[in-house]
Structure 1
Amino acid sequence: MNLHARLKTYLQNNPTAIGKVVDYNAGTDRLFPLDFTAANIELNMTIIADTQQFSDWVSEKLKVNNCRYGIGGYMEHRTIYAVSPHFDTDAEPRRLHLGVDIWGDAGTLVYSPFDGTVHSFQDNNNLGDYGPAIILKHNLDGLTLYSLYGHLSRKSLIGLTIGMPINKNQQIATLGNNQENGQWPPHLHFQLMYDMEGKHGDYPGVCKYSEKEQYGLNIPDPNLVLRF
């Protein structure tokens, strides 16, 4: 059984082992799908290049549509990354998004969906990067799974130690504002990995399209855990 199949089987057989990542009530909270591909002709580079304009655009979308969060992004081929040299390479640029983004207000509470430990954390302080990020390690009946939380507030890193135990549904962070989170509209980048490949406090959240199959083997769909 491959890793994706093992994860799906575990989640299906142990639904009570899965906690929340953000506060969400399926009966009352609405989610707005945000599209950051070339198909979104409303969003132009002038807006994206201005962090405050971009933040205001996202906030207005959620407000007008009466939605608590914006959502989307897994394996989405995004054009918005052209604004940041962080995602450009000498040949093929990185544009394929590997996690799910949850767009909401700065200060939004973030939780661990499983019992686990702190694997690593750091402030990835580059334009367009994660900013403060936390990575947790989980043992799901023998299956090792890592969860990554990017674009956090800097205060989220205070008091953390590697190996610190974390409980399911324990608050671990808050969303950062656009001055501290890599200069993005406030949101959470939530991503799952089976193998950290030796990395600490960081793992690619965007890859080249030609690497889709390679990264797809290590990165399952976060929607399996989010269950929105």
Structure 2
Amino acid sequence: MENFEKSLKKIKNVKVIDASIPYETYISLDLSVQSKQMSKFSPKTAEDYSQFLNKYLYKNKAKVAYGGYLEKRNLYERSTIFNEQSTEVRNIHIGLDLWIAAGTSVLAALEGTVHSFQNNTNLGDYGPTIILQHTLNNCQFYTLYGHLALESIALLHIGQPVKQGDKIAELGNSSVNGDYAPHLHFQIIKNIGDYFGDYPGVCSEKDLDYFKENCPNPNLLLKINS
């Protein structure tokens, strides 16, 4: 829906992690299979990725690395949840990642209510996850926040109201976040169907057209590099 994307672009001052960190200290990061940034480094574990990211941020005098929308990645090869069927490998990322330390505050992108939450515990999964429900110009849609700390979902309840900019969570470490370097997976979802506390954040080439339409670029809302 073109009008929906246009409406997202008009919203200003949206942040989903620590609002005190200015966008001037964000830097883009390419984790795709063609990435030049990764060509000299082959991380295998969460600790490897953390070391790589820390060096990358330090070298560039940055505080947050971001990116990943529609990237085809090798990152998911280690987990069977992305390779259930050999003909439909899921390796295209359909959210936006914000890489920063565990414990960083996670903020509600917009006013809304808690739709659902869940701890998705598979290797390579989201770990603790929160999904918020929003209404914009009579259009209902959702935002997903993945790789959180366990404490973030301990006291939530469905229907709980949130305001734009409210702290709703903190980022988790690799022991709870699906075994990744700490980061926030942020995703916009138009039609969530029957999903509860979970929604695909990675898709196959075959399903890409559907997910591009149903999960528009989160940077339409965040405007990190505008």
Q: Normalized against structure 2, the TM-score is what?
A: 0.92
Structure-2 residue corresponding to 1:43: 41
* 1:169 alignment partner, one of 143, 165, 173: 165
Q: How many residue pairs get matched? A: 218
Structure-2 residue corresponding to 1:151: 147
- Paired letter, 2:100: G
* Residue 38 of structure 1, CA deviation: 1.8
Structure-2 residue corresponding to 1:25: 22
- Paired letter, 1:224: L
Bigger proportion of residues as helix: 1
Which runs of no fewer than 5 residues in structure 1 stay unpaired? none
Structure-2 residue corresponding to 1:84: 79
* 2:107 alignment partner, one of 111, 135, 140: 111
Q: Distance in 2 between matches of 1:35 and 1:84?
A: 20
- Paired letter, 1:65: N
Structure-1 residue corresponding to 2:121: 125
| Amino-acid identity (%) | 38
Q: Distance in 1 between matches of 2:6 and 2:33?
A: 35
* Residue 12 of structure 1, CA deviation: 4.5
* 1:226 alignment partner, one of 200, 222, 225: 222
1:61 correspondence with 2:56: yes
Which runs of no fewer than 5 residues in structure 2 stay unpaired? none
Structure-2 residue corresponding to 1:7: 4
Q: Distance in 2 between matches of 1:179 and 1:56?
A: 16
* Residue 32 of structure 1, CA deviation: 2.2
Distance 1:43 1:211, change over 3 A: farther
- SS class of match (1:52): helix
Q: Distance in 2 between matches of 1:195 and 1:112?
A: 19
Q: Give runs of ≥4 in structure 1 deviating > 3 Å.
A: none
Q: Distance in 1 between matches of 2:9 and 2:172?
A: 33
Structure-2 residue corresponding to 1:142: 138
User: Do the aligned partners of 1:112 and 1:169 also contact (CA within 8 Å) in 2?
Assistant: yes
Q: CA RMSD in A?
A: 1.4
Distance 1:208 1:150, change over 3 A: same
